[in-house]
Structure 1
């Protein structure tokens, strides 16, 4: 489906969230252009293409459990979309050697889409809080 003029990316964002909840790198792969660039951090080397993106995704999600993911209302203009997300989960990989594996991940995705509706560039900004579960504040994400 050609989404060149579509500015509501809610369906794409829900599919991204579902792929995270299901830890499904193949579902994630279908959301990205073949040569997409995924910036998991503004300071890290970008991931390029399906193979690097899905390898990162498998490594990042395989130890996660009890994921509670809430999405904000996406804001779009042209081929760009921004959406906040708030996740709480358990992940022993985040703090190896500690007894408390709770993690709170408030974050934001800045997305650019190609004419086919696939993401061709993603920037992820996240502020992790380890060792506690913090719920999203009232009014967050709207």
Structure 2
């Protein structure tokens, strides 16, 4: 009750694109519109030249934050197009990576190749990783 009372603001956009919605980059454009990038100060060790890059199956960033308990960073990403396949993440200074559940528990170690990990994703799957990087 009362949720529709008062003044409301909203934003909308028309995004013409070639082909189907997935090939047209609709998810990326919607995220850019609805969640503008916000830079926040970070405390703790962050490697110089920090970067995360993805290749293979396109994935979308959900969040990157400090772990709730213990050490490490929590990276949440998802497959936004209803596809399945392999994605590779390269993370500067990566020393250890674990796949965890949404509560950041039940850690399953991931094999590293260099400073990267290989992930297999299902359609619309959300993946949460605990990353340990060198300071």
Structure number with bigger Rg: 2
Structure 1 and Structure 2 fold alike (TM over 0.5): no
TM-score between the two structures when normalised by the length of structure 1: 0.27
TM-score between the two structures when normalised by the length of structure 2: 0.28
